[in-house]
Amino acid sequence: MTRTVAVVFSGILSILPGLAVAQQQVVKPPVANYWVSVETAGGMSMPGMGSMGALMGGMMGGQGQGGRKMSLQLGSQRPADGPRADHMIPSGMEMGPSLPLATPQRAPAQPRERGERGTPEGMEQPKGRMLIYWGCGENVRAGQPVIIDFAALPQGQTPPNMVSRRVSIPNPPSFSRARTYGDWPNPQDSKSIPGSASLKGDHQIKGNYSPDIQFSLGEGHDFMDRVELATAARGAGAVHVTWNAVGTATGYFATVFGSDGTDTVMWSSSDVQEMGGMLMNFVPPAEVARLVREQVVLAPSVTECAVPADVVKRSGGSPFLNFIAYGPEANFAQPPRPKDPRQPWEPLWAVKVRFKSTASTLLGEAAGGGGRRPARTQAPGESPSGEASESQTAEPAQKPAAPDPLKEGVNILRGIFGR
């Protein structure tokens, strides 16, 4: 009897691989891919930073200006002579009947020149040290900071103690991967999105290089609420950061960047060590849920976090905080995926609509650092109010600007991440 059971069990095992192969569905790429990337930008509060604030926002994923933003990207495998396409939008967008998807002019590929030490042309080799912190709390935890000394790091190597998790983020349609491509905003149309605009309703994309695309968005798939950050000093220099609960958020993540003129400081709200280089971006809800379980991303129920005092102090008193609330996704395809795995799926088109809400601020005022603006002295010929007198006819010569530690930090990040 035992031998019979063993023979039957062995037979079942022998046919399982064949069943797995038979049930693996054949999926072909769609003729057209269309992505709608939607952001609510809370803006950036960076007093006294000028153009450097905008540069930092671009490097770290923040936005210099608040408002509603949207990126439309259509990629198709069909060729077209004189490509044209339009996205017919709901009336609630308050932007007219449609938005044109313009095809950029294809320019010849340019070779990427490199500098003397192996870095891209115009980009400085990282130097100095980077101090890495993580975790919410008034005080830093044991074992922090992790210190990366770029002078001791072999050229071209990633620091072994720089931890950043792999995050599965699919790539949107692009000019280089599609046979024909169109996007918005573009030189033809780059109008601003009204603050009262809504994506809810019917959407249609029509053009001469892709199938007609139709989908509808309803509750839960609209511009996210704006993130409102508030900061307050705590303890011996920590900064307590709070924010409003964003209704459709799937999780939150924050980073801090700063410099004391010698060291570059980076901190993340992750409960475990994490650089967060991939996380200040759109992240799919399934990935956000995984990162919440791994204590990298803050759960959507969390609305506060303290930046440790040592992080603020080592950042020169005016660290820069970047914040993101991850949002939902809506996915559509035509025809829908067959439930029978034996039936191939050959979609004509696929659509992804993704959402996020962001905000940025300086923490210096909250921590009592007051930024790094020097005290102003009264210039000759100037009244106490700061206005020039009538006898003042020429501007005084300006001294060369001193090296900016924040700019040096940007160069370090560029060298690390290749930006």
**Tens digits of per-residue pLDDT, 64-116?**
568 999 999 999 999 999 999 999 999 999 999 999 999 998 665 565 554 44
β-bridge mates for residue 325, sequence order: 252, 357
All residues at 6 or more sequence positions from 77 whose CB lies less than 8 Å from its CB, including other chains: 29, 31, 32, 178, 179
C-alpha–C-alpha distance, residues 320 and 125, integer Å: 23
C-alpha–C-alpha distance, residues 405 and 312, integer Å: 15
Name the token pair of 65. Answer: 């200006």
Average pLDDT of 369-378? 38
Domain boundaries, the chain: 28-104+126-368+404-417
161 pLDDT more than 90: no
Count the alpha carbons within 13 Å of 314 in the hemisphere toward its beta carbon: 22
pLDDT digits (tens, 9 = 90+) for 194-212: 999 999 999 999 999 999 9
Neighbours of 275 (CB within 10 A): 21
User: What pLDDT does 112 receive?
Assistant: 55
Cβ(209)–Cβ(78) under 8 Å? Answer: yes
C-alpha–C-alpha distance, residues 314 and 308, integer Å: 10
* Pairing outcome for strands 32-45 and 349-362: parallel
Name the token pair of 244. Answer: 């409003």
* Pairing outcome for strands 67-76 and 32-45: antiparallel
User: What pLDDT does 134 receive?
Assistant: 96
386 pLDDT more than 50: no
User: What pLDDT does 401 receive?
Assistant: 42
Element (H or E) spanning 55, and its range?
Answer: helix 51-60
pLDDT digits (tens, 9 = 90+) for 258-289: 998 889 999 999 999 988 878 999 999 999 99
411 pLDDT more than 70: no
34 pLDDT more than 90: yes
Place 234 in a pLDDT band, splitting at 50, 70 and 90.
Answer: confident
DSSP letter for each residue of 156-206: T---TT--------PPPP-TTTSSEEEEESBTTB-PPBPTT----EEEEEE
User: What pLDDT does 19 receive?
Assistant: 42
User: What pLDDT does 55 receive?
Assistant: 43
C-alpha–C-alpha distance, residues 39 and 280, integer Å: 12
52 pLDDT more than 80: no
User: What pLDDT does 326 receive?
Assistant: 98
Q: Which residue is associated with the tokens 């609510």?
A: 40
Place 63 in a pLDDT band, splitting at 50, 70 and 90.
Answer: very low
Q: Is 254 exposed, middle or buried (0-12, 13-18, 19+ CB in 10 A)?
A: buried
Cβ(311)–Cβ(269) under 8 Å? Answer: no
Give CA 339 to chain center in angstroms.
35
Top-confidence residue, 405 or 43: 43
Mean pLDDT estimate for the chain: 79
Place 318 in a pLDDT band, splitting at 50, 70 and 90.
Answer: confident
User: What pLDDT does 17 receive?
Assistant: 46
Name the token pair of 389. Answer: 């007198």
128 pLDDT more than 90: no
Name the token pair of 143. Answer: 């074992």
154 pLDDT more than 80: no
Q: H helices within 232-307, ranges in order?
A: 285-293
User: What pLDDT does 179 receive?
Assistant: 96
C-alpha–C-alpha distance, residues 233 and 57, integer Å: 23
